[in-house]
Structure 1
């Protein structure tokens, strides 16, 4: 019997929900693995913990273009991460507890702040103090 590959596993999800690309689902899986590795010991992670891990992973993987990459995959806000997770849960590709819900992903963080702000240039002290350089 042939072992199913990622395309086989994702095909039913991609057919049911066309908002997200296969890459978005693979990213969620990798971000979950990244988040679990950062824990003291492996355990179930909450939606809020996963959101934090997703942000960290996206910044490491994509740097200043993280927001653009996510948007190209159909991910525009934190609830999209939740939709991806629960699509995987509904297909039996991820597990959940009774306490987990899509609401865990609502709100979250602002994408511009989370993915662009870390790469904004730092203002110099002189600019902050509005100091002028004396003329010679």
Structure 2
């Protein structure tokens, strides 16, 4: 079930609900890729549990790269089309979505995290171009 707070947040945002849900899933994918399986990274957590929070933390750059990989895995060559439909056209858009959820209490951050961490992480045309999508999908050719 989708939390009512998330639905309400999407109603007041330039990004649709699907973009928020996708970023949540992309965060989970990224945390699992970097730190292995564990608790869902998007759940609000007691501030007393900072040690675990820090151990499963991902930077803005890591999250952008993880979301990019997740988008390509989910949508292949259509990833840029899907993201564009959600008004996600730059890595900064991932940051804005994340920080809207942080402000709503639906995600957490460390004191060092900043929305600017998502600025210009990659060029969307290059990151989601055919070469990037094919490279992520096809195994490397043995030489």
TM-score under structure 1 length normalisation: 0.79
Is structure 2 residue 78 aligned with structure 1 residue 83?
Answer: no
Displacement of 1:113: 0.4
Cα–Cα, structure 1 residues 32 and 119, in superposed 2: closer, same or farther, change >3 Å?
A: closer
SS in 1 for 2:109: coil
Tell me which residue corresponds to 2:9.
13
Cα–Cα, structure 1 residues 119 and 85, in superposed 2: closer, same or farther, change >3 Å?
A: closer
Compare CA radii of gyration and give the structure with the larger one.
Answer: 1
Tell me which residue corresponds to 1:112.
125
Tell me which residue corresponds to 2:108.
95
TM-score under structure 2 length normalisation: 0.75
Is structure 2 residue 67 aligned with structure 1 residue 49?
Answer: no
Extract structure 1 runs of 4+ deviating beyond 4 A.
none
Structure with bigger RCO (C-alpha 8 Å, 6+ apart) = 2
Cα–Cα, structure 1 residues 6 and 94, in superposed 2: closer, same or farther, change >3 Å?
A: same
Could you tell me whether the CA contact under 8 Å between 2:31 and 2:58 is conserved in 1?
Answer: yes
Q: CA RMSD in A?
A: 1.8
Return 5+ residue gaps in structure 2 as ranges: 37-54, 135-143
Could you tell me whether the CA contact under 8 Å between 2:10 and 2:20 is conserved in 1?
Answer: no
Displacement of 1:119: 4.5
